[in-house]
Amino acid sequence: MRARLKRPPWKGSLRSLVDPVATCLTIANSLVAIHSQPSIYYEPFMYGATPVIGWHRLGCLIMLKVHAFICKWLKNWIVSVSAGIWSIVEKQKAYAIRTKTESSKIGVGDKIIFYVKGTRQFCGAFRIGSKWHEPNKTWPHCMVDEVDLIEVRVGTASLRSVVGYLRFVKKRGLVGLHLYGGLANYGRAITDYDYDVIISHMQQTGRLTEI
């Protein structure tokens, strides 16, 4: 039996097809889903897995290009947390902060790698799946903002195994300073290269949920 293709998340009602504003808003609200698994939405049409007319294939190609352009503006972050906070993040798929510093920098679509203090390990990667809002989960401290997360990959990558490849670590002897505080790397984003290095080591022990 032929596999049923998943309907693109931006495909909505007839009104959304004729109303440019509604269409743009629908597409914007679906960027996270599109970025998570673009192959499910577009590649079957692009590479002949199903017969489609030319304009539909062209539309898929345009969406892929738009998606790639928008992704250039998304950022990658490392957040250092305690073991207690990490257990809540992993189970509840949410993250909360004590001050507004992080929420002013991290936005929807950005990716976060969690470094668990005291273990010297990176333990998971998530994508920001919502805007910051009032905390509605139980946290060990008083939090001011909370955000929903979309799991990318969960697994352990030891600091020792990746530190030699990380470009944001200028001196290995001072690696602890780069991972100090909540928003690590002195509050700066990391490159796609550093993100991919950590993720590739997580793949050896964690379960893959995003391609």
What is the pLDDT at residue 56?
56
Q: Residue 133 carries which DSSP code?
A: B
In order of 28, 39, 140, 175, the CA distances from 108 in angstroms are 11, 21, 25, 28
**Contact by Cβ (8 Å): 48, 58:** no
Place of tokens 């195994």: 161
What is the pLDDT at residue 58?
63
Distance, C-alpha 144 to centroid of its chain: 22
Measured CA to CA, the distance from residue 100 to residue 190 in angstroms comes to 20
Cβ-in-10-Å burial (0-12, 13-18, 19+) of 48 comes to exposed
> H helices within the chain, ranges in order?
14-18, 20-29, 31-36, 38-41, 43-46, 54-71, 83-92, 159-162, 175-178, 192-202
What is the pLDDT at residue 47?
44
The pTM assigned to this predicted structure is 0.66
| Local confidence pLDDT in tens for the 211 residues of the chain | 454 544 544 444 444 444 454 455 455 445 444 444 444 444 444 444 444 445 556 666 666 666 565 566 789 999 999 999 999 999 999 999 988 888 889 999 899 999 999 899 999 999 999 999 999 999 988 899 999 999 999 999 999 899 988 988 887 777 778 788 789 888 899 999 999 999 999 865 555 444 3
Among 171, 131, 123, 172, residue whose Cα is nearest residue 151: 123
DSSP 42-54: THHHHTTSS---H
